[in-house]
Chains A and B, each alone.
Chain A
């Protein structure tokens, strides 16, 4: 591994240890004495950048405003989804109802035709 890549690896290991509170900067430098001279300033800069960012945030009012909009939008989407799915179900049910009805209608038509034919034959036979 090249020296730069090795130092990048070590730096990341020490940064992660510092960010998660596992190890102090001094302990990291003691752990890697051969790299301490390069590592020290980089580690201090990295942890200082992190501190600066972690200490800032939007006002509570802004956080609350965005949260309300986010949750209201989510609720509206959920209602819409329910409505859509109930329409889908209704569409499927009416389709089924139509299919059952047309099935019955066809069966009734076949039965009435059969009855008509039978009656016709009987009446023709009776006239002979």
Chain B
């Protein structure tokens, strides 16, 4: 769930730190690695699973959807490194392809939800007044609305399928991002140069995109990183309730649901490995996100 982030107050240095200038990105990355080894570990974890997902077609030893009734519920062996599930499907291949599903769901939901939330939050803060008041109430409704009802409605009307699951997961993310971005942007709105820019006749869009958005990048990036993890967990929870991605698509949450309870004692590898995959990925994302926040928060910088 979203946490309230400290408001960045040191603006120019912040912009510098994010590395908006091309040269700055490499310098910033190297500094990051040096100063935040824990975050680097997180990033490495995430990259391992991410790359596994991208190159799954080449690395996976078997097809993730090929049933093989000769080897049902086999424990890990040389033929099947992580064992097989109840339909004889190779677990390692399913986890590799599952990484792809996880990141597609995670990244798409986070980006779409995050960017939408960013624009709404900034607009809400910038324009203020009635727009702000009513927009916040709309966000209140969406945020308070139980996920299961939203997910059930989306799934029942449009059917299950990865794009519909993404829609169901993205919707609750938007108001959470919008809230955080708005509280950061509120601080910036009061800054003199925004008034000056208005006085100079700059359009709303230009001011928003050129001045407000870059300056809420800090909390925004942290939130988006957290969202990827939350989306992966949300997919798992929805699959548990039967509203997520459907068979035979390989997805970690779905693998947990299918195997977790039924085979927990007789064939534990079916549930353990997807569970571990989720935990390690989200763990890595959180480590990285934490370090990102530490780096971007000016107060933390002077230690």
Partners in one complex: no
- List the interface of chain B (C-beta within 8 A of A): none
